[in-house]
Structures are given as C-alpha cells and as structure tokens.
Amino acid sequence: MQLIDFRCFIIYFSRTMKKLLLIFTACFLFILSGCKKDTAIEGPELVDLFGEFALLEPIRASVKSVNFANQEQVSFSGKLSIRTQWTMDIIGLNSGAIKTFIGNEKDFNAFPIIWNGTITYAPFFRKNEPCVARLRFENYSDTIYSDTISITDIRPTPSVDILIDDFESPQRPYNTFTEGQQTFNGTSVNYQGVSPTEKTRFYVLAGNRGPTASLFLCGMNLSARVSQGLGSNYFSFATDNPNNIYFNAYVYGWGDNKAELSIEFQEDDNKDGIYQPAQEGAYNFRLPVNWKGWKLVSFSYGDTRISTAGGFGNVDRTGKKDPDRIIATQFLLLSQAGTSGITRVGIDYANFTYYKPFQP
C-alpha cells in the first residue's frame, strides 16, 4: 500500500516538476537581476595607491637613545597619504653603517618598523654613535629624515654555525682559475682603500671583460675540508633540510653595476671524495652586485638552482640537493650581460647558519 502511495507521489511529482523548474529559473533570474553589491573591496584601495602623495605625520623614533646590548629596540612611526614603495635607511652618522627596510604600507603606526640594531650594509654601527632614519620613495623625489637617535651600546655579534672562510689566512690553498685574458686579484688587505668588514682582510675577485669575451671572468674554489679544518670531505651540517641551511657573506660592490657574483656549491654525489663536474651536481645562487659598499647577502640552500652550464654540474646523479655531500664552495665573478671592462667584487666572512639567516 505504501509502495503504491509512493509511486503516486512520484508521478505527481514528475507532472509538477516542469512547472517547478520554470519557477526555479524565474526566481534565479530575479535574484540575479537584483545585482547584489558586495560591500567588501577586493585588493588594496585605489586611492591608497594612486591618490595624492603627502606626509601626514613625520617619521619619529620611539626613543632618543637605545642600548642594543640590552636587547632594546627602536620602532618608527609616521603616516603617508597613500601606499607607495618606500625604502627606509637607518644610517650610522659616524660609521656609515646602514640598516635598510623596504615596504609599501602607508601607516607606520599600524605596521611599525622595528629595528634591533642589525645591519644590511656593513660596517657595523658603533657605540655612542648618532643615527638618523632616511625615508625615500620609488615614485616620488621627496626624502624625509627623522630626528637623530643615539646608540649607547651595540648589539653583540651572533655566532655562526659553520665558518666557510673569513679570508684572514692568505696561505690557505685557494684553487683559483680564470679566463686567459683577464687579470686576477687574490686576497687583499684594504684593497683600493676598502676596509674589510671583519678583522683585517677580505677576498677580491676582479677581471676585465673584452666586448666579445664570455661573461665568466674568474673564480675561486675552496674545499669543505679546508673550510672546516676537519678530516671530513663534506660540510657537517646539523640538518639535511636545504631550506634550513643559510649561506651568508658580506659582499662588496664598487657601484659599477657590471659585476655578478655566482656562489656555487659542488656536490660529490657518489661520495668518492672527488667532484666530477660532468657527472655530479652543482647548485648556485647568482646575484648582480648593483650596490656600492658592503652588503650582507643571505640565502638558503633551498633557494639555489642547479647549474645550467653543460658539463659543469648541470647533471645531478641523485636528482636532488644533498647538503651532506657538498664538497666545495666556489665563488665566480661574472660580467653582467651587456657590460664590458674592469669589474670586481669583494667577499668577507662567508659562513653557514641554521634555521635563520645571519643577523649581525
């Protein structure tokens, strides 16, 4: 009996279905015709990006003096009328040290800039040194300065996990190589009046590219065995995760916008103690050196890419990054594409840290 009732219902349902569907369509079209306006805005507000530029509140530091040795911090406040790309440099007025922040927020009160005494460009800040914050804009010519801040004591330099080289020992067995026609400069003290960032020496790679020569100028290779001074052929990292191993170094640029530095890590994939460039992988990180002065460069091993030079590390037997098989670090000086003539780059205090970049 119940089954018959159910079938009756289904038949009735089928007859009314068409009407229901038409009603459904009409309702749907009616809802759409309402053109509901959602009050939420997608993306940043246009007036914040393309409106009139003005400084609404001056740049102010939270303190007049700071003791970084006591882990004190300085925060900067201020307000712009629009969001625009800006660069804030905190400059040591005696040392010339620079800490750089880059951003595009318009309200520094809501998104404060906090400085803990670290540097971006060496040398280091000094004790009892006055500093000033300078704010510049990518799309506007205005430059804004804060009042001065006095550093009563500096931040202690943190330790690194593995020191590749501080370039203080000229007698170390650096394996250097160059294209025939280029000059090559090894370890230098105060090279061309440039002071090292740390202790007394740093390493210089320099070369002269002819208009039709290759981009490669010269290079230096340093084995992990020499770097660590241990019996092992390979760096002894505490982790095998490439993303948690950071390479750090100070890199000096002469501001000629011609140099490119390639930092390469050679993996001995079969662990026979010999790196064979045609059969084993090399991972590198390339950076155009477009600044003048010392800059701290950091990147994780995970950020490196396999070599693209045929026969020079572009084939990896294991098919992946193996930090525990890095047998050597190699520094190559290249000319930037479209440039020629003399160029150079300085390197100091190359090291590895775990889990986060080196922050002196």
Partner 1 sequence: MNKNTRYVIYLFLMLPITLLAQEKKIDFFGSGRFALNNGSIGGALIDSDTITPRKQMRGATLFDLGFHIKPSAETEIKAITRVTNDINGFWGGGIVMNVRELYLRGLLLKKFKYQVGDLNTRMTPFTLYNREGELSVHNPEALNTFSEVIAYDKFYGENTWRQQGAQLDFGFKFNEIVNSLNVKGMITKNRQTDYFSTPDRLFSGTSIDFTLFKNLGLHYNLAHVFDVRESAMFSDARFSNTVHSFGLTESFFIKQFQFKLSGEAGFSKVSYENILAAPNIPTGNFATASLTFNPSKAWHVKLHANRVETHFRSMGAQSRRVDFNAVASEYSYYTNRESVRPANMLDILTDGNYYNLFLTPNLQGFNPVYENILPYGQATPNRQGVQAELGFRSKVQLGLFVSNMRISRYNEISGQGTLNLRNFSEIQWDANSNINHFYNGKRRLNLSVFYRLQKTQREGIKNIEEIQLNTSQVKFGLSYEVVPKLHLQMGLLLVQAKGNEFMPSRNAFNQVVFYERSNYDLNETLFLGGINYQFSKHNSLKIQWQQVNWDNALLPQNQYAINRLSVLYNLFF
Nearest to 91 by CA among 50, 136, 48: 136
User: Residue 84 or 197: which CB sits closer to partner 1?
Assistant: 84
Nearest to 345 by CA among 336, 353, 354: 336
Q: How far is the CB of 206 from partner 1 (least distance, A)?
A: 27
Classified as helix, coil or strand, 309 is coil
User: Residue 242 or 360: which CB sits closer to partner 1?
Assistant: 242
User: Residue 127 or 305: which CB sits closer to partner 1?
Assistant: 305
User: Residue 1 or 18: which CB sits closer to partner 1?
Assistant: 18
**The dihedral of CA 273, 275, 281, 285: what is its sign?**
positive
**The dihedral of CA 272, 277, 280, 286: what is its sign?**
positive
Name residues whose C-beta falls within 8 Å of residue 292's C-beta, 6 or more positions apart in sequence: 253, 254, 255
Name residues whose C-beta falls within 8 Å of residue 307's C-beta, 6 or more positions apart in sequence: 264, 281, 282, 283, 284, 313, 314
User: Residue 134 or 317: which CB sits closer to partner 1?
Assistant: 317
| Element housing 13 (H / E) | helix 2-33
User: Residue 17 or 274: which CB sits closer to partner 1?
Assistant: 17
The whole-angstrom separation of Cα 184 and Cα 206 is 6
User: Residue 39 or 171: which CB sits closer to partner 1?
Assistant: 39
Q: What are phi and psi of 141, to 5 degrees?
A: -85, -5
Interface residue list for partner 1 (CB under 8 A): 7, 10, 14, 17-18, 21-22, 24-25, 28-29, 31-33, 35-47, 49-51, 241-244, 302, 320-321
Measured at the CA of 353, the angle between CA 347 and CA 354, to 5 degrees, comes to 155
Nearest to 179 by CA among 222, 219, 223: 219
Q: How far is the CB of 224 from partner 1 (least distance, A)?
A: 21
Q: How far is the CB of 22 from partner 1 (least distance, A)?
A: 8
Measured at the CA of 131, the angle between CA 125 and CA 132, to 5 degrees, comes to 140
The whole-angstrom separation of Cα 44 and Cα 71 is 35
Q: How far is the CB of 302 from partner 1 (least distance, A)?
A: 6
The whole-angstrom separation of Cα 113 and Cα 81 is 17
Order of strands across the sheet with 74-80? 55-61, 74-80, 113-115
Q: How far is the CB of 306 from partner 1 (least distance, A)?
A: 11
Q: How far is the CB of 263 from partner 1 (least distance, A)?
A: 20
User: Residue 50 or 177: which CB sits closer to partner 1?
Assistant: 50
User: Residue 21 or 238: which CB sits closer to partner 1?
Assistant: 21
Q: How far is the CB of 352 from partner 1 (least distance, A)?
A: 17
Q: How far is the CB of 28 from partner 1 (least distance, A)?
A: 5
Q: Which two tokens stand for residue 335?
A: 């000319």
Q: How far is the CB of 261 from partner 1 (least distance, A)?
A: 22
One-letter amino acid identity for 72?
A: E
